Structure 1
Amino acid sequence: MEGPLIIGVDGSEPSLQALDWAVDEAVRRAGTLHVLHASRWERYESRQPSFGTGRGAMERYAEHIAAQAVERAHKRAPELEVTAEVVAQDPATALTEASHDAGVLVVGSRGHGTFVGLLLGGVSLPVAAHARCPVIVVRGHEKNVRSGFGQVALGVGDPERAAAATRFAFRAAELRRARLVALRAWRCPAHELPDHPTTDSEAHVVRAENELTAALHDPAERYTSVPVHAVQEEARARDVLVTASALSDLLVVGARRRGSGFGLQLGPVGHAVLHHSACPVAVVPHD
């Protein structure tokens, strides 16, 4: 049985946008939603003298944020089962630990305390890099966040490790009744030389097409209602995916694990799409 969809909230506008997105996703999945708010309020309250046994103002404020999130979720989807939890812990650590029991983890692009100039927040990036379950960072333009394009984009990386992300993308497309665009980027080193010779690209094209066919074959047989459009292109993967995100409701990429077992390691492509995608991004651990 799939675990709950967990949403990290901090009361900021990006986290409220992520909360609304998570509510809709939980309804689509016919699952449950768990609201998690984490902050280190005891770090600050321990510096002040205590004259009683009551809870501190920071703790009460943390509980208020979680309660407000639950109320907002119920207003958006009265039938959805919503639970909440408040923990005195670093937010990135708390969400990463919660990912062990989650089906999907959802976070906003940035939250309170993040410098405006930063493209991605100090919580969303480490959570996407280290969580044990798929992580969706809700970011992008309003129409993309509202699923206004009817398209899910999938970056097909290493074919031997693409299965988990591919399954996730097919299911996401099925739940949205959207089409799936599967993208495989390739580069010919000879083409990058200043005066490169005329090199036949046919071998690279055939290889990319074969890799796409192999990656999509099994899930396509299972998710027969999902229209699939496979695209191979000579370009940098990050450029292909960011471009595709402009007309997508969700961009799905895979992430590899470190051999040391310390969670996910995002490569340059993962970092690029998390910072520049025009739509929400799902980072899915390899099997």
Structure 2
Amino acid sequence: MRSGSTVDEAVPAPVVVGYDGSAASRRAVRWAAHEAAARGTGLRVVVAADDPGVPGVRRTATRLAPLRLGDGHEAMSEAVALAESCQPGVTRGGVVRRGQPGGVLVDQSHTAQLVVVGCRGRIALPASESSTSLITASRAACPVVVVRGRVDTPRLDPVVVGVRVGDPVPSTVSCAVDVARRAGSPLVLACGWSADAGSLSRVPRPVPDRSGALATVVRDVQDHAGRSVERAAELAHRLAPGLSVRTEVLDTRAERALEGLSWGASVLVVGRGGTGPFPGLPLGRVTRSALEHAGCPVVVVPPDVPVEDVRA
């Protein structure tokens, strides 16, 4: 297979995986190769060469230095070989593009059904404003998987999806249903609630009763959380009538609830969320926390992905 080979437009959109030679990106390639096989589509390995060639700059196992163009082609060949060893015949092509990794993967997302990236432990905000996984998850046109935590999980470990207080996001629930159905795993719809600013912003202003204003706020937030997971469960049952679905309404902040559940999950699915603190990086608080602390791979779903697309 030649570097920079093109992908046949007549076949389904591929799973795209970013590779830079690091151990984290090798884990991402393995995960992506298995996912492409499960979806019955091809795998496109993408390498970003963000340095046109600086004398003395060398690639290392932890990807501390930018990839030069020549190193990029070598890395692409390594990744293609690794993917083919995991899932023979699944790889359709590999490309090397000049540019920053996050921007290159965002460009590739417009012709992909899924983008997979690795993660080297904690994503510390705001220092990691240039993190490849953060940029890709923030801007991609399709769902993004950040491969972190446990990867080789038992088949029956559930797929956990975060449901926000208020109206559940159909694309996020639908994506989680699709992941669970492919894996043959149960689905857990989880909503963490607490009387904090994040939850209160999505709950109508309460009318205090005899129990007092604070008790009324807590009661209303809890009620809205319960109704939110019920609506999400109804959607999940419509999309996949035979799927095992469980709901969890937890009296804690949403990010803490999802982090705890992620350590017993095969995949955690979250929406992209609201506008984050950095211009052009619209990730909500819960999503940023999941990318930093989750104990399993995290799927970040854009809000404008049509429901029928995530079920493809």
Normalising to structure 2: TM-score of the pair?
0.76
Alignment of 1:1-287 (within 5 A): 3-44=13-54, 58-110=68-120, 122-140=131-149, 144-148=150-154, 150-157=157-164, 159-160=166-167, 162-188=169-195, 199=215, 202-256=219-273, 265-287=282-304
Shift of 1:237: 0.5
| Equivalences, count | 262
Query: Structure 2 vs 1, CA of residues 263 and 163 (structure 1 numbering), >3 Å: closer, same or farther?
Result: farther
- Give % identity: 29
Counterparts of 2:16 and 2:146 in 1: how far apart (Å)?
12
Query: Structure 2 vs 1, CA of residues 120 and 69 (structure 1 numbering), >3 Å: closer, same or farther?
Result: farther
Aligned counterpart, 1:52? none
The alignment partner of 2:54 has SS state of helix
Shift of 1:264: 5.7
Is the Cα contact below 8 Å between 2:137 and 2:272 reproduced in 1?
no
Counterparts of 1:69 and 1:224 in 2: how far apart (Å)?
38
Counterparts of 2:194 and 2:134 in 1: how far apart (Å)?
28
Deviations 1:117-175 (A, max 9, x none): x88982111111111111100001xxx31132521110012553511110000110011
Is the Cα contact below 8 Å between 1:131 and 1:264 reproduced in 2?
no
The alignment partner of 1:110 has SS state of coil
Gap regions ≥5 residues in structure 1: 48-56, 190-195
User: 1:5 is matched by which residue type in structure 2?
Assistant: V
Shift of 1:23: 0.6
The alignment partner of 1:283 has SS state of strand
The alignment partner of 1:31 has SS state of coil
Counterparts of 2:151 and 2:37 in 1: how far apart (Å)?
16
Deviations 1:59-112 (A, max 9, x none): 33211110111111111111313310011111111011111111100000039x
Is the Cα contact below 8 Å between 1:150 and 1:177 reproduced in 2?
no
Is the Cα contact below 8 Å between 2:137 and 2:300 reproduced in 1?
yes
Query: Structure 2 vs 1, CA of residues 120 and 251 (structure 1 numbering), >3 Å: closer, same or farther?
Result: farther
Structure with greater helix percent: 1
Gap regions ≥5 residues in structure 2: 1-10, 58-66, 197-211, 305-312
Aligned counterpart, 2:308? none
Is the Cα contact below 8 Å between 1:145 and 1:249 reproduced in 2?
yes
Counterparts of 2:16 and 2:300 in 1: how far apart (Å)?
15
Is the Cα contact below 8 Å between 1:255 and 1:264 reproduced in 2?
no
* RMSD, aligned α-carbons: 2.9
Query: Which 4+ runs in 1 deviate beyond 6 A?
Result: 118-121
Is the Cα contact below 8 Å between 1:255 and 1:286 reproduced in 2?
yes
Normalising to structure 1: TM-score of the pair?
0.82
The alignment partner of 2:272 has SS state of strand
